[in-house]
Chains A and B, each alone.
Chain A
Amino acid sequence: MSSSAPESSSAPESPVPAPLHLAVALDGAGWHPAAWREPVARPRELLTAAYWTDLVTEAERGLLDFVTIEDALGLQSSAFTEPDDRTDQVRGRLDAVLIAARVAPLTRHIGVVPTVVATHTEPFHLSKAIATLDYVSTGRAGLRVQVSARPNEAAHFGRRTVPPIRWEDYDTPAVQETVAELFDEAADYVEVVRRLWDSWEDDAEIRSVATGRFIDRDKLHYIDFEGRHFSVKGPSITPRPPQGQPIVSALAHAPLPYRLVARSADIGYVTPHDAGQARAIVEEIRAEQRAAGRADETLHIFGDLVVFLDDDPAEAAARRERLDALAGEPYTSDARIFTGNPAQLADLLQELQAAGLSGFRLRPAVAGHDLPAITRGLVPELQRRGIFRQAYEATILRGLLGLARPANRYAAAAATA
């Protein structure tokens, strides 16, 4: 990984710890299904701009790298790939790209990374939407790409059918084939999105009064993507965004998604439950990264954790129990669930970081409680340990993540031709 820690002139006893990156995943009232019932929750405001502005502003107060915003093309459900008809949990949500755009002008430093579903949307539309998010946030946009294997969501579009998948059948060849196809399509999708971002060179707009030309069309490029699932001609209608390439990220739990991360993403979110698992996952992704010919590119691997965070660990545990009781069952997650105080969480993050993770995406169990606990409790603790920024050191998201602004692939091709 790139090292942005300044070299110390007086050699310390122990090496300077590497800074870690920190993001939060925002979803409704929080990740615990009963979060909306907490007194701090604002369950009737989940569809308002004020609610989202408050959350993202709080995250920015804590100097976090970015927020992600969850989304889906169907109603939330507690079931694996089906609707559940439950009325005791939050249902209904807004388009994540539009939430991000609505909040972007009201913040200055924090990255905004909405979830987008590759399976049912158009890469052309999405590419210009994220490019525009990068313009309205002046260089702080990203996306989290997701596939949808839900038959009910496919029925909302009516273009294809997705066979019902049961969790226990996940490893069968038929299901694996379906999943592989969805991830191959997502890889094509990201490729198209990235090519479209590059389809305008940075200096394509020339406004040449002498010749009357507004653009230099030699600096606009057809992307001519031909894939198995779709083809896209290009160029984009939107000029290259401020970051050149906004940040692409994806959540991954298994080899197929690891491959998508390794081939296509700038950040992968993974869900190890201990340092050993973290090490193994990182190794697997790095191997895929080498196989994809990207060994020399920075690819961040962030660990996802659900957090119940209180100054007193007993309070956090009690809160989790109270919420589980309200929900009628213990909360389970793909990610490790942390319950404790900021010092304990900092310890855990450092342990996982030592196993190869470069950052973390924390999922607040209760947004109104655990997000401020992260920004006002965990962040000062990490700062005391010298592993988190004291102030925003860059104005664009790539800068915060230590990623260089990439050269335009078409400009580079033209230069070598």
Chain B
Amino acid sequence: MSKPLKQIHLAAHFPGVNNTTVWSDPEAGSHIEFSSFAHFARTAERAKFDFLFLAEGLRLREQGGKIYDLDVVGRPDTFTVLAALAAVTEHLGLTGTINSTFNEPYEVARQFASLDHLSGGRAAWNVVTSWDAFTGENFRRGGFLPKDERYSRAQEFLTTANELFDSWRGDEIVADAATGTFLRDARAGAFTHQGQHFDIQGQFNVPRSPQGRPVIFQAGDSDEGREFAASSADAIFSRYATREEGRAFYTDVKDRLARYGRDRDQLLILPAASFVLGDTDAEAAELAHEVRRSQVSGATAIKHLEFVWNRDLSAYDPEGPLPDIEPDLGEHTIARGRAQVRMYRDPLATVREWRELAAANKWSIRDLVIETGNRQNFIGSPATVAATIDDFVQADAADGFILVPHITPGGLDAFADRVVPLLQERGVYRTEYTGTTLRDHLGLTEPAEVPAPVTAPATAPVPADR
């Protein structure tokens, strides 16, 4: 007897500040106007996606001491745009990255609870922590937080927020006009939290929302991050969108769930993935090549190398060979506000590897950046892409994907029109929403109680921002 087919989960990431949007394309629209977000969200809902996702960044990135100007720059406020999107959609989940370093639990909890009320139970929170004092310069708290405490603050932040979400049971409002009893319990929302980072008490002022708590996403990859996700998250945004890497990550994380008394289907693994569609596989491959050339200009390639060299390389020719000077191994100062920089923790090894690759393939600087930085995942005809996604999910490389188009706001349209029907024909993707809340879409049950603290809360349970 064959195994029943797994149902695929799909979500859409509206790219914010980023280097993959081909903004020079005549089809590329505004990344700020609400009409773009509304179009994108409606397409995702037409395609029966689980949710729309927005990342966050709280300081404009800099390189060489100046604001970085080669990528899409500027984005709206996450909560505000998600609340507005709740007005133009009915089912689509609304997921936002909200930083736990430069916010306070009471405020964030009331914003998520409000969003959950105003969307009829469609809110989700990607919990992240900030990773440098650079961002702190925009906030009251500044850079006060010692580096090694940011993760413990994030953990305690989530614990505290859950205490606030749970401070109303959900039956306190009786609103009996005849007797004049509005609240059954005068102490509804009462809480006290005393911890290393938060010492707060009082009454939470948003009654329990449709989902009780927002769905919790996590985006980390470290051992602690995986442990945190296994204990406390409903879904992971993983970076492993290839079949074999995905399978390894999937197995590892799902095996950890039992430790926390959770089933394997209580944590979804959703890698971010890009796609390029063509009428034929060959046409898609050609188009994908063009997209990569558009994403990586010569100037962009030089700037990318500077992440590793930690030096000004503007004198180098992007169509020429790699710099022959060695990277600056001092404190990393050339690029600020960048997550990518952490991918190159051993610059000497990266430089050595890149030089070998460039020599073997006769690559210029730009060729190298295009080839090594390639993050395109699904390239092909709609049939090929549908079959590949289905195969990856059935093979337990993922439970689904968060799709990031290279054009906004229309980059999702072709996927909705041409790939989704094929997945539906295969019987692996919903043809209608069967529930109303994001928890319904994800097949998650409402959390019964605050999860037990993670065993090693002092180390990184939550990843940096994305």
Show the binding face of A for B, using Cβ within 8 Å.
34, 36-39, 41, 43-44, 47-49, 53, 72-76, 83, 85-95, 97-99, 101-106, 120-122, 124-125, 128-129, 131-133, 135-136, 138, 152-153, 155-159, 200, 204-205, 207, 209, 211-217, 220, 229-235, 237-239, 326
Min CB distance, A392 to chain B, in Å?
19
B104 & A120 in contact (Cβ 8 Å cutoff): yes
Told that A49-B120, A101-B80, A216-B69 touch, could you supply 13 new A-B pairs with CB distance under 8 A? A36-B182, A43-B173, A83-B203, A92-B173, A98-B118, A105-B34, A204-B74, A214-B71, A215-B73, A231-B137, A233-B138, A237-B57, A238-B74
Q: Among A49, A105, A121, A131, which residue has the most Cβ atoms of chain B within 10 A?
A: A105
A237 & B205 in contact (Cβ 8 Å cutoff): no
CB contacts (< 8 Å) of A88 on chain B: these are 180-182
B300 & A212 in contact (Cβ 8 Å cutoff): yes
Tell me the bound Cα distance from A133 to B80 in angstroms.
6
Is B334 at the interface (CB under 8 A from chain A)?
Answer: no
B186 & A239 in contact (Cβ 8 Å cutoff): no
Tell me the bound Cα distance from A234 to B137 in angstroms.
8
A158 & B198 in contact (Cβ 8 Å cutoff): yes
B77 & A129 in contact (Cβ 8 Å cutoff): yes
CB contacts (< 8 Å) of B32 on chain A: these are 135, 205, 238-239
B184 & A87 in contact (Cβ 8 Å cutoff): yes
Assuming A72-B205, A105-B34, is B140 touching A98 (CB within 8 A)?
Answer: no
A98 & B34 in contact (Cβ 8 Å cutoff): no
Residue of B nearest to A33 (CB): B182
Min CB distance, B225 to chain A, in Å?
25
Is B374 at the interface (CB under 8 A from chain A)?
Answer: no
Q: Among A99, A105, A156, which residue has the most Cβ atoms of chain B within 10 A?
A: A156
Min CB distance, A133 to chain B, in Å?
6
CB contacts (< 8 Å) of B88 on chain A: these are 105
Contacts A/B (CB < 8 Å), 21 sampled = A37-B180, A43-B175, A49-B119, A73-B106, A74-B202, A94-B110, A94-B117, A94-B206, A102-B118, A120-B104, A121-B107, A122-B103, A122-B139, A122-B140, A129-B80, A135-B76, A207-B24, A220-B60, A230-B139, A235-B67, A239-B32
5 residue pairs, one from A and one from B, having the closest CB atoms: A43-B175, A136-B84, A101-B83, A233-B137, A132-B80
B80 & A44 in contact (Cβ 8 Å cutoff): no
B110 & A239 in contact (Cβ 8 Å cutoff): no
A125 & B103 in contact (Cβ 8 Å cutoff): yes
Show the binding face of B for A, using Cβ within 8 Å.
17, 23-24, 32-34, 38, 57-60, 66-77, 79-81, 83-84, 86-88, 102-104, 106-107, 110-111, 113-115, 117-120, 137-140, 142, 168, 173, 175, 177, 180-189, 198-203, 205-207, 297-300
CB contacts (< 8 Å) of A105 on chain B: these are 34, 38, 84, 87-88
CB contacts (< 8 Å) of B200 on chain A: these are 155-158
CB contacts (< 8 Å) of B23 on chain A: these are 207, 214
B117 & A48 in contact (Cβ 8 Å cutoff): yes
Q: Among A41, A72, A122, A229, which residue has the most Cβ atoms of chain B within 10 A?
A: A122
Residue of A nearest to B189 (CB): A75
Tell me the bound Cα distance from A229 to B140 in angstroms.
8
Min CB distance, B118 to chain A, in Å?
4
Assuming A72-B205, A125-B103, is B73 touching A214 (CB within 8 A)?
Answer: yes
A36 & B34 in contact (Cβ 8 Å cutoff): no
Tell me the bound Cα distance from A159 to B200 in angstroms.
9
CB contacts (< 8 Å) of A215 on chain B: these are 67, 69, 73-74
Min CB distance, A228 to chain B, in Å?
12
Assuming A155-B201, A156-B202, is B77 touching A213 (CB within 8 A)?
Answer: no
Q: Which secondary structure dominates chain B's binding surface?
A: loop
Assuming A121-B107, A205-B74, A233-B137, is B81 touching A101 (CB within 8 A)?
Answer: yes
Q: Among A90, A98, A133, which residue has the most Cβ atoms of chain B within 10 A?
A: A98
CB contacts (< 8 Å) of A37 on chain B: these are 177, 180
Tell me the bound Cα distance from A157 to B17 in angstroms.
30
A85 & B84 in contact (Cβ 8 Å cutoff): no
Tell me the bound Cα distance from A89 to B102 in angstroms.
34
Tell me the bound Cα distance from A91 to B168 in angstroms.
12
Residue of A nearest to B136 (CB): A233
Tell me the bound Cα distance from A135 to B71 in angstroms.
21
A213 & B69 in contact (Cβ 8 Å cutoff): yes
Assuming A122-B103, A231-B142, is B74 touching A237 (CB within 8 A)?
Answer: yes
Tell me the bound Cα distance from A129 to B17 in angstroms.
17
Choice from A73, A93, A159, A238 contacting B77 with Cβ under 8 Å: A238
B74 & A95 in contact (Cβ 8 Å cutoff): no
A98 & B80 in contact (Cβ 8 Å cutoff): yes
Choice from A156, A205, A212 contacting B106 with Cβ under 8 Å: A156
Q: Among B24, B84, B137, B297, which residue has the most Cβ atoms of chain A within 10 A?
A: B84
CB contacts (< 8 Å) of A94 on chain B: these are 110, 113-114, 117-118, 206
B182 & A43 in contact (Cβ 8 Å cutoff): yes
Choice from A73, A131, A232 contacting B205 with Cβ under 8 Å: A73
Residue of A nearest to B80 (CB): A132
CB contacts (< 8 Å) of A128 on chain B: these are 76-77, 80
Tell me the bound Cα distance from A86 to B202 in angstroms.
15
Min CB distance, A279 to chain B, in Å?
38
CB contacts (< 8 Å) of B185 on chain A: these are 87
Residue of A nearest to B71 (CB): A214
Tell me the bound Cα distance from A156 to B200 in angstroms.
5
B138 & A44 in contact (Cβ 8 Å cutoff): no
Tell me the bound Cα distance from A53 to B87 in angstroms.
10
CB contacts (< 8 Å) of B203 on chain A: these are 74-75, 83, 152
Tell me the bound Cα distance from A371 to B70 in angstroms.
50
Min CB distance, A53 to chain B, in Å?
8
Tell me the bound Cα distance from A232 to B141 in angstroms.
10
A75 & B118 in contact (Cβ 8 Å cutoff): no
A237 & B184 in contact (Cβ 8 Å cutoff): no
CB contacts (< 8 Å) of A122 on chain B: these are 102-103, 139-140
CB contacts (< 8 Å) of A138 on chain B: these are 34
Min CB distance, B114 to chain A, in Å?
4
Choice from B74, B79, B114 contacting A200 with Cβ under 8 Å: B74
B138 & A129 in contact (Cβ 8 Å cutoff): no
Residue of A nearest to B180 (CB): A88
Tell me the bound Cα distance from A96 to B309 in angstroms.
47
Choice from A91, A95, A101, A220 contacting B84 with Cβ under 8 Å: A101
Tell me the bound Cα distance from A265 to B139 in angstroms.
23
Assuming A124-B138, A214-B23, A231-B142, is B186 touching A85 (CB within 8 A)?
Answer: yes
B180 & A98 in contact (Cβ 8 Å cutoff): no
Min CB distance, B191 to chain A, in Å?
9
CB contacts (< 8 Å) of A83 on chain B: these are 202-203
Tell me the bound Cα distance from A159 to B141 in angstroms.
10
Residue of B nearest to A45 (CB): B175
CB contacts (< 8 Å) of A238 on chain B: these are 32, 74-77
CB contacts (< 8 Å) of A136 on chain B: these are 34, 76, 80-81, 84
Min CB distance, A62 to chain B, in Å?
21
Residue of B nearest to A127 (CB): B77
